[in-house]
Amino acid sequence: MTRQVLHSDMRSVGTEVSAASQKKHLMEDAVEIPTKPATAYITVCLLCVFVAFGGFIFGWDTGTISGFVNHTDFKRRFAQVNNEGGYYWSNARVGLIVAIFNIGCAVGGIILSKLGDMYGRRIGLMIVTLIYVVGIVIQIASNNKWYQYCIGRVISGLGVGGIAVLSPMLISETSPKHLRGTLVSCYQLMITAGIFLGYCANYGTKSKYDDSRQWRIPLGLCFLWAIFMVAGMVFVPESPRYLVEKDKIDAAKRSLATSNKVPVDDPAIEAEVNNIQAGVELERMAGNASWGELFTVRTKIFQRVIMGIMIQSLQQLTGNNYFFYYGTTIFDSVGLEDAYKTSIILGAVNFGSTFAAMYTVDRFGRRKCLLYGAALMAICMVIFATVGVTRLWPNGPDQPSSKPAGNAMIVFTCLYIFFFATTWAPIAYVIVAETFPLKVKAKGMAIATAANWIWGFLIAFFTPYITNAIRFYYGYVFMGCLIFGFFYIFFFVPETKGLTLEEVEEMWQEGVVPWRSESWVPSSRRHAQYSSDKQAAGV
């Protein structure tokens, strides 16, 4: 019995090695898909925008909830009543209403992302969008029961959590490799657009209405966003890697041809599909991926899970949602007459800056952007915190605040948001989307994204308590996290700019150290690279 098992294991290992050898051979002989002028990819970019629109849905929630908690009608319905008959928020209730959405997102990212493996990325996105709509209906129907509103936010969070995993996944698997970073960044662009327009919607309804339309109109618009998302999925090509995994080879070729603007019978399409097939076959021989396989060290899966968790956690620990969730409250505390207008300014900076990120992510690479971003945000955060602690209330917190100090804090908040939007905001999603092999991709991305949501919940829930206790000293906490993030990126995160998803896998298997990853050349390009080097040397 033992001998039979041993022989079976040896045959399995031998077959796996053979498949790995075949995959390497295919990559070495692969024909590169030709790169065309940017104008040739307009249709592909528009299709990716449909997928990335899921980010708008998330951003809309972030932008609107920050204003809802200050709307008079919303407070009248869901806040508490003091002895004088006025309405106020306890730290626990306002923290829960804002933050509970993130718990739904974390659970949805882990559980509902499986729909992408079961039914395909497109159908999976349609299903989770419909779940999101159910949560919106419950929120709109809430009248005076704050816990009913929270239940609606949890359910809508389930849908958004699934969207947050499946949208970047589908974009990364369908976009041309030289545009992948830019197109995955569209997801973050849509988040910032949602935040900005959510702020604008809050300002508009606050100024025009004094009843439930203040918050029900922004929520009602969510139906329009969901219809746009679902309708767009009809035109988007399915992931070629998912299609190959389901043995739909012809459909995979058509998907690749559509994304890369080349004929279906182009030799490069055939070579790319063969390369994907070899990778899928190798993963099949290893068996179906279980959750336990995420802890496999030999195949470098566990290392990538930890990296994904750290990057997504650090993105939250930069402090961005301190401003986005509580921006209206923060700037109300510095003495501004209309904090809603300041939130709109911050949202506009955030949205406009993300366009720059779509250029920098593929121009300068992932590592450089994250390193420079962490350093520059740390500088902005320490200045913001120092001014808030030492200059904002020269005569004490109970006295009027200093307007010059408040203006300085707004300026450095805008600079902070600019650096965040051009670096950490999109690139965290880009790196996680292109790090995991197909076999564990949905699970790996779900775990990493769940870490982001959990930290989002913790920050949103505890921020009212912390700011009441230490006020703007809170900024020093985020500064420390940014310094830690700088060193973590330098030592543990490799560069993936310009690589196919299969080449990223090859780099991990070769054990390339992160600080030398920018100069690493994949096997499919080494021969030409070495020949070029020899010619340059005159050999």
pLDDT digits (tens, 9 = 90+) for 112-132: 988 998 999 999 999 999 999
Q: Please, what's the b/e burial string for 372-384 (b: 16 or more CB within 10 A of its CB; e: otherwise)? A: bbbebbbebbbbb
Confidence of residue 306 (pLDDT cuts 50, 70, 90): very high
Give me the pLDDT at residue 161, please.
94
Per-residue pLDDT of 400-409, as tens digits, reads: 778 888 888 8
Helix axis angle, 180-208 to 424-433, nearest 10°: 130
Cα–Cα nearest to 90, from 98, 80, 82: 80
The CA–CA distances, whole Å, from 464 to 322, 469, 482 equal 10, 9, 21
Other beta carbons less than 10 A from residue 208's beta carbon = 10
Phi, psi of 397 (to 5 degrees): -60, -20
> Which of the residue ranges 2-11, 150-159, 279-288, 328-337 would you say has the lowest mean pLDDT?
2-11
Confidence of residue 101 (pLDDT cuts 50, 70, 90): very high
Q: Is the pLDDT of residue 7 over 60?
A: no
Question: Token pair 């402090």 is at which residue?
Answer: 319
Alpha carbon distance 459, 455 (integer Å): 6
3-state SS string for 99-145: HHHHHHHHHHHHHHHHHHHHHCHHHHHHHHHHHHHHHHHHHHHCCCC
Q: What torsion do the CA atoms of 379, 381, 386, 391 make, to the nearest 10 degrees?
A: 110
Contact call for residues 270 and 234 (beta carbons, < 8 A): no
What is the Cα gyration radius of the chain? 25
- 452 Cβ contact partners less than 8 Å away, ≥ 6 residues apart: 164, 312, 313, 315, 316, 428
Q: Is the pLDDT of residue 377 over 90?
A: yes
Confidence of residue 52 (pLDDT cuts 50, 70, 90): very high
Give me the pLDDT at residue 280, please.
81
> Which of the residue ranges 49-63, 166-180, 410-424 would you say has the lowest mean pLDDT?
166-180
- Classified as helix, coil or strand, 157 is helix
The CA–CA distances, whole Å, from 132 to 55, 124, 157, 223, 230 equal 13, 13, 7, 9, 12
Tokens of 166: 């499946």
Q: Is the pLDDT of residue 535 over 90?
A: no
Characterise 288 by phi-psi region: left (phi > 0), alpha (psi -120 to 50), beta (else): beta
* pLDDT average, residue stretch 187-210: 92
Question: Token pair 């239940």 is at which residue?
Answer: 151
Question: Token pair 């021989």 is at which residue?
Answer: 285
Contact call for residues 425 and 320 (beta carbons, < 8 A): yes
Contact call for residues 36 and 268 (beta carbons, < 8 A): no
Task: Determine the longest span between alpha carbons in the chain, in angstroms.
Answer: 89
Contact call for residues 343 and 328 (beta carbons, < 8 A): yes
Alpha carbon distance 187, 421 (integer Å): 12
Alpha carbon distance 249, 276 (integer Å): 10
* pLDDT average, residue stretch 65-75: 91
Q: Is the pLDDT of residue 32 over 70?
A: no
Phi, psi of 217 (to 5 degrees): -65, -50
Give me the pLDDT at residue 56, please.
96
Q: Is the pLDDT of residue 80 over 90?
A: yes
Rounded to the nearest angstrom, the gap between the alpha carbon of residue 39 and the centroid of all alpha carbons in its chain is 27
- Determine whether 217 is exposed, middle or buried from the number of CB atoms within 10 Å of its CB (0-12, 13-18, 19+): middle
Q: What angle do CA 431, 437, 439 make, to 5 degrees?
A: 135
Domains of the chain, start order: 44-236+286-528 (1.20.1250.20)
The pTM of this model reads 0.78
- The neighbouring-strand residues paired with 26 are none
